Amino acid sequence: MAEITIFEQAFCPYCRKAHKAIKALTEENPAYSAVNVRWIDENRQRGLADQFDYWYVPSVYLGARKLYEADPSEGYEEIRAHLKAALDQALEDEA
């Protein structure tokens, strides 16, 4: 099964948008349900988070490859587009 890892923080407004986007994308395209989305709260799993190179959350990885790192200027639609691309890439790599 394909898997992406998303690093987040509990009170991050961009991370809330990412959760909303993943839910919406999965509802719109059931094929995305084949991708396991692993959410990692960087504050609760600091040791794991420190193994990856990112500054902003949400940050999305496919294995060790960074697919996306949020930018504070991004709105919901931009975040959603990046997450869609990450899901597409995960499915493509799995095929």
Question: pLDDT tens, 10-55?
Answer: 999 999 999 999 999 999 999 999 999 999 999 999 999 999 999 9
Name the CATH architecture for the domain at 2-94: 3-Layer(aba) Sandwich (3.40)
For residues 6 and 37, is the Cβ–Cβ distance under 8 A? yes
- Per-residue pLDDT, 80: 98
DSSP β-bridge partners for residue 35: 2
Helix, strand, coil proportions of the chain in percent (round to 5)?
A: 45, 25, 30
pTM: 0.94
Please state the domain extents for the chain.
Answer: 2-94
